[in-house]
A and B are shown apart, each in its own frame.
Chain A
Amino acid sequence: MTALLETRAVWQRFGGLVANSDVSIKVERGEIVGLIGPNGAGKSTLFNLIAGALPPTQGSIWFDGEDVTRLPAAERCERGIGRTFQVVKSFETMTVIDNVIVGALVRNTVMKVARRKAHEVLEFCGLGARADVLASDLIPSEKRRLEVARALATEPKLLLLDECLTGLTPIEAQKGVELVRKVRDTGVTILMVEHVMEIVMPLVDRAIVLDLGKVLVEGKPTDVVRDPKVITAYLGDRHAVGA
Chain B
Amino acid sequence: MDSFHQRRRRDLFVAFIFAGLAALAPLFVKDVYVQNIMVLTLMYAALSQSWNILSGYCGQISLGHALYFGIGAYTTALLFTKFGVLPWFGMLAGGVISALIAMGLGYPCFRLRGHYFVIATIVIAEIGLLLFHNWTWAGAALGIDIPIRGDNWLTFQFTRSKLPYFYFALALACVAWFVTWWLEDSKWGFWWRAVKDNPDAAESLGVVVFNSKMGAAAVSAFLVAIGGSFYAQFVSYIDPESVMGFQFSLLMALPAVLGGIGTLWGPVLGAVILIPLTELTRSYIGGSGRGVDLIVYGGLIVLISLARPQGLVGLFSSRKVPAQ
The residues in B between 271 and 324 inclusive whose CB is less than 8 angstroms from any CB of A are: 320, 322-324
The CA of A132 and the CA of B201, in the complex, are separated in Å by 20
Contact with B along A85-116 (1 / 0, CB 8 A): 10001111110011001110110010100011
B194→A94 contact, CB < 8 A: yes
The total of chain A residues at the interface (CB under 8 A) is 35
B323→A102 contact, CB < 8 A: no
* CB neighbours of B190 from chain A (8 A): 98, 101-102, 105
A90-B198, A93-B262, A102-B202 given as contacts; is B187 within 8 A of A134 (CB)? Answer: no
B208 CB–A CB distance under 8 Å:
yes
* CB neighbours of A73 from chain B (8 A): 203-204
* CB neighbours of A134 from chain B (8 A): 320, 322
Q: Which residue of B lies closest to A88 (CB)?
A: B201
A169, chain B: closest CB distance, angstroms: 25
* CB neighbours of B262 from chain A (8 A): 93
B114 CB–A CB distance under 8 Å:
no
A214 CB–B CB distance under 8 Å:
no
B203→A93 contact, CB < 8 A: no
Contact with A along B153-194 (1 / 0, CB 8 A): 000000000000000000000000000000001110011011
The CA of A151 and the CA of B193, in the complex, are separated in Å by 17
B22, chain A: closest CB distance, angstroms: 30
B193→A93 contact, CB < 8 A: yes
A140 CB–B CB distance under 8 Å:
no
Partner of B193, one of A74, A91, A153, A154: A91
A89-B201, A132-B3 given as contacts; is B322 within 8 A of A105 (CB)? Answer: no
How many of chain B's residues touch chain A, expressed as a range?
20 to 34
B204→A91 contact, CB < 8 A: no
B186→A103 contact, CB < 8 A: no
A170, chain B: closest CB distance, angstroms: 28
A74→B201 contact, CB < 8 A: no
B193→A106 contact, CB < 8 A: no
A91-B193, A92-B197 given as contacts; is B205 within 8 A of A102 (CB)? Answer: yes
The CA of A90 and the CA of B194, in the complex, are separated in Å by 9
B200 CB–A CB distance under 8 Å:
yes
Interface residues of B (CB under 8 A from A): 1, 3-4, 185-187, 190-191, 193-194, 196-198, 200-209, 262, 320, 322-324
Q: Which 8 A/B pairs are nearest by Cβ-Cβ distance?
A: A93-B322, A106-B206, A89-B201, A91-B197, A77-B206, A73-B203, A103-B205, A102-B194
Interface residues of A (CB under 8 A from B): 51, 53, 72-74, 77-78, 82-83, 85, 89-94, 97-98, 101-103, 105-106, 109, 111, 115-116, 119, 132, 134, 136, 150-151, 153-154
Sample of 14 A–B contacts (CB below 8 Å):
A51-B204, A74-B206, A77-B205, A83-B204, A89-B200, A91-B201, A92-B198, A94-B194, A94-B197, A94-B322, A105-B187, A105-B191, A111-B187, A116-B1
